[in-house]
Amino acid sequence: MKLLSPNPRAAHQSGITFVDVLMATAIITVMSLGVVGSLTYGFFVMQMARENQRATQVMLEKVETLRLYNWEQVNSNGFIPSTFTDVYDPQAPQGRQGVTYTGSLTIGDFTNATSAGVSTPPTYSTNMRQVTLTVNWYTRNINRSRSLTTYIARDGMQNYVY
């Protein structure tokens, strides 16, 4: 016994056309690429935040070390190295230590009026030094840099260390 549908064309028209499948696939593809792109961007932003934080830690370590030197050590040529290199994870195996931070450190004085940005040197110019610290690193072939300027005084923290 053969069953006949009340409308013989209804079974033929109820299917999904090839154009509908293509459009749905295109929409899903565009949405998937958007999600993957968003995740990639989010991971990149987190990587940049970690590297910026590490650069700040490197600068803080160098400056805190400088603050413990006495006045003669700060003023002696060559005692404080002017360049340095630091890696992200020094405990990791060679070649897998992550980002390499390179830096420069300059110690200036106020005896030259132009270094202080004023027309005449201040009265404390012989008792103070300006330290400029710059850290550079590369992220995905982008040159990144952070800089810090601070001061060291003759009667600074080292007089309190026993």
Would you tell me how many other CB atoms lie within 10 Å of the CB of residue 106? 13
State mean pLDDT over 119-142: 82
pTM metric for this prediction = 0.70
| pLDDT tens digits for range 74-100 | 888 888 899 999 887 777 788 777 888
Query: Measured between alpha carbons, how far is 152 from 149 in angstroms, rounded to an integer?
Result: 10
Q: Is the pLDDT of residue 16 over 60?
A: yes
Residue of higher predicted confidence among 154 and 118: 154
* 23-39 mean pLDDT: 95
Could you tell me which residue, 18 or 26, shows the higher pLDDT? 26
Q: Give the model's pLDDT for residue 160.
A: 55
Q: Which one has a higher pLDDT value, 12 or 124?
A: 124
What's the whole-number average pLDDT of the chain?
Answer: 82
| Helix, strand, coil share (%) of the chain residues, nearest 5 | 45, 25, 35
Question: How many degrees, rounded to 5, is the angle at CA 101 between CA 64 and CA 152?
Answer: 25
Q: Which helix (H) or strand (E) holds 84?
A: strand 83-87
List all residues 6 or more positions away from 14 whose beta carbon is below 8 Å from its beta carbon. Answer: none
DSSP, residue by residue, 25-54 = HHHHHHHHHHHHHHHHHHHHHHHHHHHHHH
Domain positions in the chain: 15-160
The SS3 of residue 158 is helix
The pairing of strands 83-87 and 142-153 is unpaired
CB contact at 8 A, 86 and 58: yes
* pLDDT tens string 98-115: 888 999 999 887 665 455
